[in-house]
Amino acid sequence: MSPESLLPVYLLTGSDRPKRSVALKRLRDRVGSDSVELLSAHSESGADVVAAANALGLFGDSAGRAVVVESVENWRKDDVDAVRAYLDNPTPDTVLVLVADDLKKDSPLEKLAASKGEVLRYDIPKGSKLVSWVGAQFKESGVRADGEAARALVEIVGEDPVALAAEVTKLAAWADGDPVGRREVEQLAAPGREAAAWAVTDAWGARDLAALLEACELALEKKDPFLIAVNLASHVGRVRAAQALAEEGLAVREIASRLRIKEFPARKALQHAERYSRAELEAALVRLAELDAAIKGASRLSAELELVRALVDATRGVEQPVSAT
C-alpha cells in the first residue's frame, strides 16, 4: 500500500505494548524513518502538534510524512479540540500517529480518531487468557512451545506484556528451532519484579551460603531488612508445608492448589525441601521468628547484622548455629 493511501490520523492504544510497537513501526516504515517527527504529549500541546503537522507540509514531499505523538492520554480538552480543528482540513501527505497507554474506550480522542481515521486497539487478555496470549507470542516467534511453557512463563515473569515479550524473544533465540517446555522456561526465564527476593530464597534453597549473603547484600540496597526477613520466612513456611504434603503423596498440582499458589513456586518449594530435613526447616522457622523479634527491638544489634546472622543459621541448619542464645 502506498503512503498516499494512509489516513490522516491513527490512534494506537491498548495494554498490548509489544503489538502497539509493531503497528507503530509498520506505520513509520510506510513513510520512511527520515520522514518521521517524534513528539510527546508530556511536553507538546495539541496546538504544538498541529503546528508540526502543518510545517511538515511545507516541504511538499510526495513520499509522505508522519508526526508521531506519544502519551496522548495526558492531553486535555483544549489539546483534543486543536487536533479536531486540524483534522477538518489536514495537511496532505501528512499522517498523525497518536499513541496512548490504554486510553479509555469511547474517550473524546478515540471518537475523533475513529471518525477521521482509524483506531488500532491492542489489548492483552487477563487471567487464564493471558496464557493463550503468551502461546501466540511463542508461535509468532517461531517457537514450538506447549501450553505448560506459556503457563510457566506467566507464573515466573508476571503479567507485564513487555517483560513477557522480551522473555519469549530470549527463549526463541536460545531454542533455535527446538521445542520449549515448562522445564526450559523454568531454567531460563528471569523472574519479574521480585527478582532480588527470588535470589535470596533461591540461594537459601540451594544451601549456597556465599550466594545467599551476596543476594542479601544486593537486596538490602532496595529493601528494608524486615521485608527481606518476612519474605524468606514466608518461603520457608511454604517449603515446610510443601514437604509435608509431598510426604502425604500429593502431586505438584495438588500441592499448588492446597497452598493456593501457582505451580512454579510449588515446584521451587519442593526442590528446596529436598535439601532440608523436617527438623532443619522447623528450626529455620524458629530462627526467623527470633529475627522478627530482634528487628522489632529485642536486640541492640543493627537489623542488617541480625538478618545476616539469621540467614547463616537458617542455611547451615540445626547442627551448626552461629547465633548466640
The pLDDT of residue 58 is: 47
Segment 285-321, tens digit of pLDDT? 999 999 999 999 999 999 999 999 999 999 997 544 4
Segment 157-201, tens digit of pLDDT? 888 887 888 899 999 999 988 999 998 998 888 776 555 557 899
Does residue 115 share a domain with residue 11?
A: yes
Place of cell 479509555: 104
Output the DSSP codes for 227-263.
Answer: HHHHHHHHHHHHHHHHHHHHHTT--HHHHHHHHT--H
DSSP bridge partners of 145 = 180
| CA angle, residues 293, 272, 135, in degrees to nearest 5 | 115
How many domains are contained in the chain? 3
Place of cell 530464597: 201
If you average pLDDT over residues 71-95, what whole number do you get?
94
Does residue 143 share a domain with residue 113?
A: no
In this prediction, what percent of the chain has a pLDDT beyond 90?
A: 59
Q: What CATH number is attached to the domain comprising 159?
A: 1.10.8.60
The pLDDT of residue 155 is: 83
Output the DSSP codes for 10-78.
Answer: EEEESS-HHHHHHHHHHHHHHH-GGGEEEEETTT--HHHHHHHHHHHGGG--TT-EEEEEE-GGG--HH
User: pLDDT band at residue 63, thresholds of 50, 70 and 90?
Assistant: low
The pLDDT of residue 318 is: 54
Segment 138-152, tens digit of pLDDT? 999 999 998 899 988
Is 243 domain-assigned? yes
Does residue 303 share a domain with residue 251?
A: yes
Distance CA 178, CA 57 (A): 50
pTM of the model: 0.52
Residue that terminates a domain, selected from 188, 209, 227:
188
Does residue 47 share a domain with residue 134?
A: no
Q: Give the residue numbers spanning the domain of 181.
A: 128-188
Asked if the model's pLDDT at residue 128 lies above 70, the reply is no
